[in-house]
Amino acid sequence: MSRDIYVVAEQRDGNIAKVSIELIGEARRLAAELEQNVYAILIGDQIKDKAQELIEDGADGVVYVEDPMLKEYVTEPYSKALTAVIKECDPEIVLFGATSIGRDLAPRVAARIHTGLTADCTRLDIKTSSYIEYANSSTTLNTASLDPNDPDMCLKQTRPAFGGNVMATIVCRKTKPQMATVRPGVMQRIEKDPSRTGDVKEIKVKFEPSDMNVVIREVVKEKHKKSDITEAKYLVSGGRGIGSPEFFDTLKELAEVLGGDYSSSRANVDAGWAPKDRQVGQTGKTVRPELYLACGISGAIQHVAGMEGSELIIAINKNDTAAIFDIADLGIVGDVKVIVPKLIDAVRKYKAAKEA
């Protein structure tokens, strides 16, 4: 019988992706409800030494596949390796990060093992108080009435749908494992525990030269390291309401005095006012900073999906009925072009007084 939650631990050059650590933390929460264990899956070349790191981050054990063919990510050999792991271990749930690798690997493996896959999830649950209408069924089920020990309980996979206008909860009740990709920054990692121990198991996979269907001539790494908005503690974000691309210079100035970074809504990215890697929202990045300062952002569900997990949300908007105020911890009704410069001066004066 299918059992346990497996997290595909994405690695590049032996470095575990942050989203994989986040997913291990989320898997522990889900596994507690199912009374099951959490395992990480490592695929690569000479990566066994990373197993203990994953155990310290919350995994109960690690299964790994090593081979020189797996040194760099290539779709076919990685798909073969992961398919072999799933067939041998028979997991209940398999989670991937919704990265370029995860988005390529997950659907190919799902097709090979004939199971379903929900992409770009923003929330995962086992028990939920809402009513779920199952696919291919004319009945509805109140999942709150289910016994948490029932092995047939399904993973509730929530993602934006219909252009982000609704949040759909999807279940895969007829096939196992239940598989989902989850966006980076959505889940919270748990505190690392160096005292943790766990089982480490190698799964042997026989690779053939025909498994490598592409030839990697050269790997060119990006030389210029860009700041990552998902890592920022404080984010100053601009929406359509800032009025012009030039006002981003003011938002950057505020971000600098706060010791944070700047971001944008999709409207400004589409208009060419801000680069794509600065976009927060359903089609951008998911962020969870300590402070999210929304300047001139209306609060469309597509944007909210990417920042609602922020610890403190402060919204500045001249429209007092803007939807952003519904989720903001503090709302300021007014013109961002007047308020933001005053806020910059106030922060500078505060910091100067503190240093004096």
Rounded to whole angstroms, how far apart are CA atoms 304 and 290?
16
- The pLDDT of residue 145 is 40
- The pLDDT of residue 94 is 97
How buried is residue 68: exposed, middle or buried, by Cβ count under 10 Å (0-12/13-18/19+)?
exposed
For residue 37, tell me if it sits in a domain.
yes
pTM tops 0.95? no
- The pLDDT of residue 47 is 93
Contact 254, 343 (CB under 8 A): yes
Say if residue 175 is in the same domain as residue 241: no
- The pLDDT of residue 165 is 67
Dig out the tokens for 120 from the structure. 């770009």
- Per-residue confidence of the chain (356 residues) as pLDDT tens digits? 788 999 999 999 889 999 999 999 999 999 998 999 999 999 999 999 999 999 999 999 999 999 999 999 999 999 999 999 999 999 999 999 999 999 999 999 999 999 999 999 988 998 743 333 333 333 333 434 444 445 447 899 988 777 666 778 999 888 999 999 998 888 988 999 999 999 999 999 999 999 998 888 888 877 656 788 988 999 999 999 999 999 999 999 999 999 999 999 999 999 999 999 999 998 889 899 999 999 999 999 889 988 998 999 999 999 999 999 999 999 999 999 999 999 999 999 999 988 87
Residue with the two structure tokens 């609060």: 299
Dig out the tokens for 235 from the structure. 């984010």
Say if residue 350 is in the same domain as residue 276: yes
Say if residue 41 is in the same domain as residue 150: yes
Tell which residue, 314, 352, 350, has the closest CA to residue 334: 314
Query: Quick one: residue 110, left, alpha or beta (phi over 0 = left, psi -120 to 50 = alpha)?
Result: alpha
Rounded to whole angstroms, how far apart are CA atoms 306 and 284?
7
Tell which residue, 322, 304, 321, has the closest CA to residue 313: 304
For residue 309, tell me if it sits in a domain.
yes
CATH code for position 63: 3.40.50.620
Which residues are within 8 A (CB) of 31 and not within 5 positions of it... i.e. 6 or more apart? 4, 5, 37, 38
- The pLDDT of residue 119 is 93
Q: Give the domain range for residue 347.
A: 229-355
Rounded to whole angstroms, how far apart are CA atoms 296 and 334?
9
For residue 222, tell me if it sits in a domain.
no
| Structural domain total, the chain | 2
Which residue among 147, 178, 211 closes a domain? 211
- The pLDDT of residue 333 is 96
Say if residue 104 is in the same domain as residue 176: yes
Query: Quick one: residue 348, left, alpha or beta (phi over 0 = left, psi -120 to 50 = alpha)?
Result: alpha
Say if residue 316 is in the same domain as residue 205: no
Say if residue 323 is in the same domain as residue 206: no
Pairing of strands 166-170, 156-161: antiparallel
- The pLDDT of residue 164 is 63
